[in-house]
Structure 1
Amino acid sequence: MEDRRREGDLYVPSRTLKGQRTVVCFYLNYHLVLITKLRHRCMTGPIPDRLEAPCRSNATKWEYNVLEFNGEADHVHLLLALTPKVLPSAFVYNQKTVTSRLLRKEFADHLNRYYWGKPVLRSRSYCVSAPLTPPSHAWRRADIVWAMEGLIIGVGQPERATVL
């Protein structure tokens, strides 16, 4: 039986194995940039707001959090907190497919002016980057979550934090 708790951008699963308690803490935030085909500045008006809805609605299916969402007329930035079970490349492929299909269906007249009736919206390229280390506030949140789990944490350097 697996019990899952989310505290901000940290995901802390715990489960009992033969009377032992295991706590896993990870920090997998990704900055994702999706660009339009040929960098056409076609994402104007209500399109960015409509684009945000499917990105947030897929969160339960793919087990991720959208921490930030913004962009300009030719690209979109997403700051995501993914779990280790999710491959970033598979996630990006799914997001590009779902959002492109939705926007081409709802805003066909607007997008036909830019893409001459062709069924394209996104470029095949994308950029995914990850911060090297979590911010210090993330470790403080982890201490709070671990304290809620009933464990005593020895605090020091984040990579040297030990369970006593």
Structure 2
Amino acid sequence: MENGSVQNFNLTNNHLNATFDFVLKAENPNRRISVYYDYIESTVMYEDQTIAFTTIDPFYQPRRNVTRVESKLVAQSLSLSQATFKDMRIEKTSGEIEVDVHFKARIRLKVGVWKSDHRTLRITCSSVAVHFSWYKHFDKVPCEVEV
């Protein structure tokens, strides 16, 4: 995970409103294989509860390429348990919130004119600290990748 931020974060009456923005750096160093990302979904989790979800436009990644994948996830009037609401309020006072960000994609590999069947790519970015202040630096987070 290369960058992340949260805007319009509001906790009221056990409900959450927020907009999360994340940038994932997808590297394809291979000189022969290119990748089709046919379907991508992105999820933000807080204490094992999904708090925001979105899909990302499909794209093609050529050989020896770095692509930045932007994901904007919105939580709108999301109902939270009393315990989750309390924990989020505490984290808000610390100036940042720690979330897990998941990406799940259906991909195909291309070598020459041959294309593979669909495969599932899962990316998990754990313990992503997102700051409420725009001037705070985002620390890059390594993510686990599974095909």
Name the larger-Rg structure. 1
Give TM-score, length-normalised by structure 1.
0.31
Structure with the higher fraction of residues in helix conformation: 1
Structure with the higher fraction of residues in strand conformation: 2
Give TM-score, length-normalised by structure 2.
0.34
